[in-house]
Amino acid sequence: MEKILKTWRSFFLILFFFFFYPKIIWARDYKVDYQVEYFLEEKERRIESPVSFWIKITNLLSSVYVERFTLTFPSSFLIKDFKAKDDWGEITPQIEKLNDTIKVTVKFSNPNIGKDSVNNFYLNFYQDNLFKVNGNIWEVILPTIEKEKEDSYKVIVHLPKESKKKIGLAKPKPTYILNNQIIWENPKEKTLYAVFGDEQYYKTTLYYHLKNEKPYPVYTEIALPPDTLYQKVFIEKIDQKPFSVYQDDDGNFLARYLLKPLEKKVIVFDGVISVYTKPRVEIRDFINKKIKDQSKYLLSSKSFWEISEIEKKINLSSLKTVKDIYDFVVDKLNYNQGLILKKTERKGANLALFYPNQAVCTEFTDLFIALAREKGIFSREVEGYGFTQDEKLRPLTLTSDILHAWPEYYDDEKKIWVPVDPTWQDTSGIDYFSSFDLNHITFVIHGKDPSYPVSAGMYKLEDSSDIVLKPVSYKPKEEIKIGIKINNLPKKIDDKNFYLVNLVLENQSNVSLFGKKITFESLDINIFPKEFLIESFLSFEKKELKIKVKSHIKNKKKAATFNVLFDGKKVFEDQILIIPYYYNLGLKITIGVLFLAILMALFLKRKYD
């Protein structure tokens, strides 16, 4: 009888990555088909997941077969109720705890032998930490199998039948979505990432510590979280109202405060920040209009975004697309976990190339921006907060209050800013180029200056925890309120002359507003201009407008109504009396005659005296 060579394959899982490999392989001796199913069950805000593996092994040679199968998990995986069976029935798994791992081994009870014969493993266990409920969304990071080219692999996620959650984001794109099933066939990525829900809400409290060290009053600025294409800020409270606010060229929300001599002040921001999977329609036009002015500096090399003698260090001709640049950065730099808690100096793009193993998020970001600008692609840096429940997968590496940085580039065809994160792709294996996530919260945008404005979390006088941020499930409410002050609206006008009117609008809403019209209406009064388009209107911001008014009717006395509408809703109403011009003319003549009569009387009196 021909001697049978027994082989076994091992299944190894660490940091969410699955690897299958044979211990003894002289040729391609068998083919494996994998089907992995996750059954989501939500219980008390936790997603608990029965997991099922069906592993079909087909012998390709008569002399080789698979005898046993081993799985190794990190001990952090909360796995229980492990069961296994083969084609002949139940198999008792051997479970062994080794340091930080759990090793599970199963052995075929009576394996089929011979060419084209098939053996099946059926593995079931229970795990409750693959799927997480984060505020308003479900988030899942699934490991994948490193298979041979000839093998097949299918992943199926079963949503609870009663669930109304829809998939909002998936990396890579699922092969099928059938009712409550999401299916990937033969994925090539190291991990599968999915978000169920289109928007996430973060309850946010930020502390800004300010100090005037001068013996005279000074103004200082802080950067409040801005609205972006993928983010909307709902302000619940700012304990001290700013003296003024404005939006800079990059779209940052800057609030100005007056500090007395040697004064210390702490500004506290409370609000909810909403993050979206899709670009906000209402802000898109405004952001695109700013590109014309931003183009003056978005290709310039700044201190951290320049590479000396770049042609000697990089084959620029090989970087033809944004994806090429992104892949180069991910492949070139290695994230250094040991630098997380160290206060390291920002290296910039040039030094990042010299020290590729000493990179944190700023090095990944700076190198991407430097290369993109060198290739004529508009790019910029975003600093903010990366929400994560696993800092090994998705680290936070700016030392002040665990901030994070990532780049954006401008897609000239789509006319849109696109955020990417080479740091998190390097550490997690998740694709952060073709689509983003709901875990990046923007605090500041750096396009003109790589160091200003300063992000929330970095306004410190001493060691303090200045960022408190957590996901919540409730949707914030938009409260629109516009204050209006008109200093010189006339109570009475004639039917001949123009009158200049000054208005001051203040956005007293809890949100910033974009693309809103201010309209003036009156049946009896002509108003020039009749409307203004307010492209951007920050919370607390004031805007001054000037209009001219003139009577629409002639030779008639009438009380006219003057209305001011904001976004189609009335915010001001007043009455203006219209009188014929000759009323004023008659009054002027009467006054003139009286004046002349008085002068004549005085003259005659003096003459006869």
Q: What's the 3-state SS for 63-125? A: CEEEEEEEEEEECCCCEEEEEEEECCEEECCEEEEECCEEEEEEECCCCCCCCCCEEEEEEEE
- Which is higher by pLDDT, 128 or 30? 30
The per-residue pLDDT for range 300-336, each reduced to its tens digit, is: 988 899 999 888 788 889 999 999 999 999 999 999 8
Which of 30-34, 212-216, 392-396, 485-489 is predicted with the least confidence, judged by mean pLDDT? 392-396
Average pLDDT over residues 26-45: 77
CB atoms within 10 A of CB 537: 22
Contact indicator for 235, 260 with CB cutoff of 8 Å: no
CATH class of 482-582: mainly beta
Q: What is the pTM of this model?
A: 0.85
Question: Cα-Cα-Cα-Cα dihedral of 291, 297, 298, 302, to 10°?
Answer: -160
Element (H, E) at 607: helix 581-608
Contacts of 595 (CB under 8 A, 6+ apart): none
The per-residue pLDDT for range 484-533, each reduced to its tens digit, is: 999 889 999 988 899 999 999 999 999 999 999 999 999 999 999 999 99
Average pLDDT over residues 35-63: 83
Res 185: pLDDT: 94
Contact indicator for 526, 546 with CB cutoff of 8 Å: no
**For the chain, what are the domain ranges?**
5-159+167-187, 202-472, 482-582
Res 458: pLDDT: 92
Architecture, CATH, for domain 5-159+167-187: Sandwich (2.60)
CB atoms within 10 A of CB 300: 11
Tell me the angle at which helices 322-332 and 361-374 cross, rounded to the nearest 10 degrees.
140
* pLDDT at position 567 over 70: yes
- Which is higher by pLDDT, 131 or 546? 546
| Phi, psi (deg, nearest 5) at residue 290 | -75, -15
Confidence of residue 399 (pLDDT cuts 50, 70, 90): low
Q: Does the fold of domain 482-582 match that of domain 5-159+167-187?
A: yes
Average pLDDT over residues 156-161: 86
- Which is higher by pLDDT, 481 or 586? 481
Report which residue type is found at 577.
L
Average pLDDT over residues 425-447: 92
Res 18: pLDDT: 33
Which of 190-199, 245-254, 471-480 is predicted with the least confidence, judged by mean pLDDT? 190-199
DSSP letters spanning 322-362 = HHHHHHHHHHH--B-GGGTTS-PPP-HHHHHHH-TTSB-HH
Distance between CA atoms of residues 573 and 564, nearest Å:
6
- Which is higher by pLDDT, 454 or 12? 454
Res 6: pLDDT: 33
Give me 361's structure tokens.
């998020």
The per-residue pLDDT for range 173-220, each reduced to its tens digit, is: 899 998 888 999 999 887 888 898 899 999 999 999 999 999 999 999
Confidence of residue 597 (pLDDT cuts 50, 70, 90): low
Contacts of 414 (CB under 8 A, 6+ apart): none
What is the dihedral sign for C-alpha 369, 373, 375, 377? positive
Contacts of 524 (CB under 8 A, 6+ apart): 551, 552, 553, 558, 560, 561, 578
> What percent of the chain stands above pLDDT 70?
87
Per the DSSP assignment, residues forming a β-bridge with 306 are none
Contacts of 274 (CB under 8 A, 6+ apart): 199, 200, 201, 202, 231, 232, 233, 234, 475, 476
The domain defined by 202-472 carries CATH number 1.10.10.10: no
> What percent of the chain stands above pLDDT 90?
56
* pLDDT at position 159 over 50: yes
* pLDDT at position 154 over 60: yes
Confidence of residue 16 (pLDDT cuts 50, 70, 90): very low
Distance between CA atoms of residues 266 and 240, nearest Å:
9
Distance between CA atoms of residues 576 and 499, nearest Å:
12
DSSP letters spanning 143-158 = E-----TT-EEEEEEE
Confidence of residue 19 (pLDDT cuts 50, 70, 90): very low
Give me 88's structure tokens.
């002949």
Res 601: pLDDT: 67
- Which is higher by pLDDT, 54 or 148? 54
* pLDDT at position 2 over 50: no
Res 345: pLDDT: 84
User: Which residue, among 77, 106, 82, has the nearest Cα to 94 in the 3D structure?
Assistant: 106
CB atoms within 10 A of CB 152: 13
* pLDDT at position 423 over 70: yes
Which of 140-149, 354-363, 413-422, 434-443 is predicted with the least confidence, judged by mean pLDDT? 140-149
User: Which residue, among 25, 48, 280, 255, has the nearest Cα to 148 in the 3D structure?
Assistant: 25
Res 78: pLDDT: 73
Distance between CA atoms of residues 364 and 397, nearest Å:
11
Burial category of 180 from C-beta neighbours within 10 Å (exposed 0-12, middle 13-18, buried 19 and up): middle
